[in-house]
Structure 1
Amino acid sequence: MTTAIRTLAAWAALTAAHDVADHWVQIDTQATAKGRPGLEGARACAAHVATYTATQALALAAADRLLGLRLDWGRAALGLAVSAATHYAADRQGGHWGDEEPRGVARLAAATGHATWLRRDPGAGYLMDQAWHRGWIAVAAVVAGGGRP
């Protein structure tokens, strides 16, 4: 099995699991609280990212077993950590994508010329959030699907 095939299969598993975890597994109390300041927000976001990462790990393990990928699980764990850390970083900002004073990843989006769109279009924040996650999932898949040492 080539590194490219392992990486593509890892990307497919991680991406599908992302959609399930972000929209089906995450509960409403996590979604509404994860961007709040302080311990309440941090706990809600950590709980969401824990179930998100578990969902991705299960999908990656299923793909590994069913497709015979022979993933290196040290690399897979590192890929999952990349996905989890970047997911937490984006989700801790909560619904602040279109704020006049954005924070976190929303600040980066505003600094790269997206502030007007984020304020004008109520769906822009969600699209930027999902693009952020999927971009990092691609990085995580490259890490997870990399060659066996």
Structure 2
Amino acid sequence: MSTALTFAAVLPALLVAHAVGDRWAQTEHQAVTKGCAGHAGRVACASHVLTYTAVTATVTAIVCVALSLPVSLTGFLAGQAVSALTHYWIDRRTTLAAFVARFAPWKRNYYANVPGGAEHLDQSAHMVWLLVAALLTAVI
């Protein structure tokens, strides 16, 4: 039962941290540049993911300590690693666009042409991986 309770506490912590890290902690430069081709885009995305992960790690740690959750260091680090790596992959933009084209072609027009479509698919992809990160945090 403690694994289920840990998961139930860590997931909303990650979701709140995601909202803060992805919106408030991200600089305008990171937001505008992280999807660009080349070195500048990679650096902007990596710096965004670094600040984002600082937020998710801090919030998750505070929740785990405050609620005395039985989270191992390995589980904590695995959850944060999955969150960070997938966040980088999604936020490079061309990667998610290629994924949509290959595996969800019925969403290509939505992704490319509907106002906010790309961001909605971006955010829902982040949610999927935050679920995985919370599971890893709780079970490892």
The bucket for the TM-score relative to the shorter chain is over 0.9
The correspondence for 2:98, drawn from 90, 107, 118, is: 107
User: 1:1-149 maps to which residues of 2 (within 5 A)?
Assistant: 2-93=2-93, 103-111=94-102, 112=104, 113-146=106-139
For 1:118 and 1:134, the matched residues in 2 are separated by 17
CA contact (8 A) 2:2 2:70 kept: no
Amino acid at match of 1:17: A
For 1:50 and 1:115, the matched residues in 2 are separated by 30
1:51-103 deviations in whole A, cap 9, x for unaligned?
1011000011100111110211111101100000000001112xxxxxxxxx3
Q: Match of 1:104, SS?
A: helix
**RMSD of aligned alpha carbons:** 1.2
Tell me the TM-score normalized by structure 2: 0.94
Percentage of pairs with the same residue: 38
Which ranges of structure 1 fall in alignment gaps of 5 or more residues?
A: 94-102
For 1:119 and 1:142, the matched residues in 2 are separated by 32
**Distance of aligned partners of 1:39 and 1:119 in 2 relative to their CA distance in 1, 3 Å threshold:** closer
Count residues in correspondence. 138
Q: Match of 2:107, SS?
A: helix
- Name the structure where helix makes up a greater proportion of residues: 2
For 1:123 and 1:61, the matched residues in 2 are separated by 32
Extract structure 1 runs of 4+ deviating beyond 3 A: none
CA contact (8 A) 2:34 2:43 kept: yes
Tell me the TM-score normalized by structure 1: 0.88
State the shift of 1:116 in Å: 1.8
